[in-house]
Amino acid sequence: MPRNRNDQTKEAKRDEIVTAASSLFVSEGYDGASMGKIAAAAGLTPNTLYWYFGDKDELFVAVADRYLDLLLEQHTTVAEQPLAEQFVWLVDSLRPVRHLVATVHARVARSPRIAEWHSSFHRQMEALFEDQLTIELSAARRNAEAAVVTFAIEGAVTHDLDADATADLCHSLAQRLAGL
């Protein structure tokens, strides 16, 4: 027997939708994960899905937020390691969802909502590493160096570097920061 809509809170249902969308976005990509497929996976009609999310980009951002929150939470387990190891960890953590990273870059010019999320992602990633720079640099230079790290990590993820190339890149980034 189908569940009564009133048996769940709106937040619980949103969470179920994000879970279904997350799975489909990862397995089928943004274009392959239609709102109809997502609704069916969440046990909803497509029209009902729009009660929770205004459009596909809003839902995609909710999925991206979930991954980012998890990533930031998990970063605490490696935050005391050397920067190179943190960078390798980050690439390895993002690699399973590299299609989501590629989707963000593909849609950033077409979707203000995704562009805003992408800017926020960069600010948060850059803050993680900028705070760990122990050398004296101007604020602008610190921001620029943190941005270089974020761009390089995104590149390693989207270009699917192998483990050795990833390690080399990450150690090179860390050495660059240490040598400034």
Residue-wise pLDDT tens digits, 69-116 = 999 999 999 999 999 999 999 999 999 999 899 999 999 999 999 999
**Tens-digit pLDDT profile for residues 36-62:** 999 999 999 999 999 999 999 999 999
**Tens-digit pLDDT profile for residues 109-137:** 999 999 999 999 998 988 888 777 767 77
Q: How confident is the model at residue 16, as a pLDDT?
A: 95
pTM over 0.75: yes
| CB 166, CB 92: distance < 8 Å | yes
How far apart are alpha carbons 122 and 118 in whole angstroms?
6
| CB 64, CB 120: distance < 8 Å | no
Q: pLDDT tier at 3 (50, 70, 90 boundaries)?
A: low
Sequence-separated (6 or more) residues with CB below 8 Å from residue 60: 21, 25, 30, 103, 107, 114
